[in-house]
Amino acid sequence: MVGDGGSDHQGGADLGRSFIVELPPRRDCEAVVEKSWEQRFPGGLTFEGQRFAFPEGLSVRAEVRWLEESLLSVRLSLAARVAGECARCLSEAELAISDDLMYLYVPCGLDLGKDTELASDDGFLPVEVDFWGRTLDIAAQVWESLLMLLPVKLLCREDCAGLCPVCGADLNEGPCSCAQEGDPRLSVLRDVFAGLAGEAENKNEI
């Protein structure tokens, strides 16, 4: 999952680097280790058909602590400005994204359902680890969190009117001439209804 070349950002697998955190001493549930990164992201990424640029890069912060001897929680905080085309009118759009996600690192094979009450808290995203080292690379979770925070549709503004499907005019600048003539697709429906009404009248006469 963690590459160090990092040339492929076309919706690829990661940010092309590792995000290493040191673990607090085992059995010390009071200790908290914090680390933050300012990640430049010039290539941006394509996700679900949308292109996202990150003009100010990406801020990542991790807060690591043991919940139990073998359960490690990582609070990941991400913040960025994303820029791209408005999904409706294709003009430039920007959005600030930021959120905290809680990851729970557990040893492989641990049944969370039985072994801990944390299973009832579905706010935790579980990650299995093979063994505990002194450090942990959370690059895969940083990438996953980033994709989760991306907007489903980037819009220039919430109520963007989009483009006219007939003439392509930007409807944010006012109605186009199609609107005055009525939608041609609706006029087809009007003809159909007129026909049905005519048939009904004919039946009444019989």
Which residues of the shown chain bind Zn ion in the complex (CB under 5 A)? 86, 88-89, 156, 160, 164, 166-167, 169, 176, 178
CA separation for the pair 71, 53 (Å, rounded): 35
Query: Integer distance in angstroms from the first to the last C-alpha of the chain?
Result: 76
* Closer Cβ to Zn ion, 29 or 97, answer by number: 97
Burial of 170 (0-12, 13-18, 19+ CB in 10 A): middle
Helix (H) or strand (E) holding 189: helix 184-205
Identity of the residue, 29 or 176, whose beta carbon is nearer to Zn ion in the bound complex: 176
Q: Which is nearer to Zn ion, 32 or 167 (CB)?
A: 167
- For the bound state, the minimum distance from the C-beta of residue 73 to Zn ion, rounded and expressed in Å, comes to 39
Residue 50 Cβ vs Zn ion, minimum distance, rounded to whole Å? 13
Q: Which residue has the tokens 């049905």?
A: 196
Residue 10 Cβ, how far from Zn ion at the closest point, in Å? Answer: 24
Q: Least distance in Å: CB of 54 to Zn ion?
A: 20
- Least Å distance, CB 168 to Zn ion, is 7
CB nearer Zn ion, residue 9 or residue 88: 88
Separation between Cα atoms, residue 176 and residue 18, nearest integer Å: 51
The residues pairing with 65 across neighbouring beta strands, listed in sequence order, are 73
Cβ(137)–Cβ(2) under 8 Å?
yes
Residue 131, exposed/middle/buried by CB under 10 A (0-12, 13-18, 19+)?
exposed
CB of 169 to Zn ion, least distance (A): 5
Choose between 74 and 163: whose C-beta lies nearer to Zn ion.
163
In this structure, how many other beta carbons lie within 10 angstroms of the beta carbon of residue 123?
9
58 vs 86, beta carbon nearer Zn ion: 86
